[in-house]
Amino acid sequence: MKDVIDSIRLLDVGKIEENVSLKKYTTYRAGGNASCIVYPKNTKKLISLISFLKENRVPHKILGNGSNLLFSDKDYEGVLIRLNEFDKIKFVSKRKIRVGAGYSLVKLCLLAAKKSLTGLEFAAGIPGTVGGAIYMNAGAYKSDMGYIVESVKVLTPDCKVVTLVNKEMQFHYRSSFLQTHPGYVCLEVVLHLKPGKREAIEEVMRDRRQRRLDTQPLEYPSAGSVFRNPPDNFAGKLIEDAGLKGKKKGGAMVSDKHANFIINYKNAKASDIKELIELCHDEVKEKYGIDMRIEQEFVNWE
């Protein structure tokens, strides 16, 4: 990897961090080390980087805030790409916002409220980037990104920049075009919001923030909901009914506050967390015949 990193330096695409602990870059606070993380300065530099990595068959992955990933305890012998420099934001009209993929979703929600724009309240407590939220079609409280996205500028696998409109993004429950088409990268989004009253918007956000504090184990590292809710059911209830609430493996535990959260309560290894996820899945399937779908992505477990 040293030769690869030296070559990336010569490309001058942006800042490089070497031999970094993934515990610092994922909300589970678990996982091994990554050979390097690169922060491209702009789209042109991103294209140069990805073209080089593909030509040389170097494993690589876009990494947002790491709020939906579980890296293994092994070292990641590849290049992680963070789009922190893709953080420009512009109000293109009174109701439309153009925002980069690297912009904080929480920060965006607060800004929208300040501008008296409604539609983003559901995302106020989701600790990801805008790009990650688009990829996952992040949602809560019966709403999601698919309701407010007008268009998404993406980089295609052959390194062309194209714009996809909402319908082309194929937004469904916790799913999008980007999930089903590997190699596409979200660069920028145009959101269409509605005018509202700032006080009312902020009150909704405060209420939902308090509800999260009351019902979710936010005091511990986690990656949010582990499983998608099956139709007409709740993953947390199924896990609790299966008797797994409070179940521990190493330093990981099925939260006794919300069973659809697995928390790192004591320096958990990634393998501890993964084993608990698989245990919850298998127990619920065996007892209730329900094949719960895991929301989180496992990386570097091969």
225 part of the active site: yes
Question: What is the 3 state secondary structure string of 208-265?
Answer: HHHHHHHHCCCCCCCCCCCECCCCCCCHHHHHHHCCCCCCEECCEEECCCCCCCEEEC
Query: Which residues are CB-contacts of 53 (< 8 A; sequence separation ≥ 6)?
Result: 60, 79
Of the residues 95, 98, 174, 293, only one is catalytic, namely 174
The residues near 76 (Cβ < 8 Å, ≥ 6 apart) are: 22, 31, 32, 33, 34, 35, 59, 299, 300
Selected catalytic residue, list 72, 82, 151, 295: 295
9 is catalytic: no
Query: Which H, E and C letters describe 124-187, residue by residue?
Result: CCCCCEHHHHHHHCCEECCEEHHHCEEEEEEECCCCCEEEEEHHHHCCECCECHHHHCCCCEEE
Cα gap 266→60, rounded to integer Å: 30
Of the candidates 226, 189, 253, the residue with the CA atom closest to the CA atom of residue 67: 226
CB–CB of 120/103 below 8 Å? no
Distance separating alpha carbons of residues 225 and 15, to the nearest angstrom = 32
116 labelled catalytic = no
What gap in Å lies between CA 169 and CA 145, rounded to an integer?
A: 11
Q: Which of 67, 72, 225, 255 is catalytic?
A: 225
Enumerate the active-site residues.
Answer: 174, 225, 295
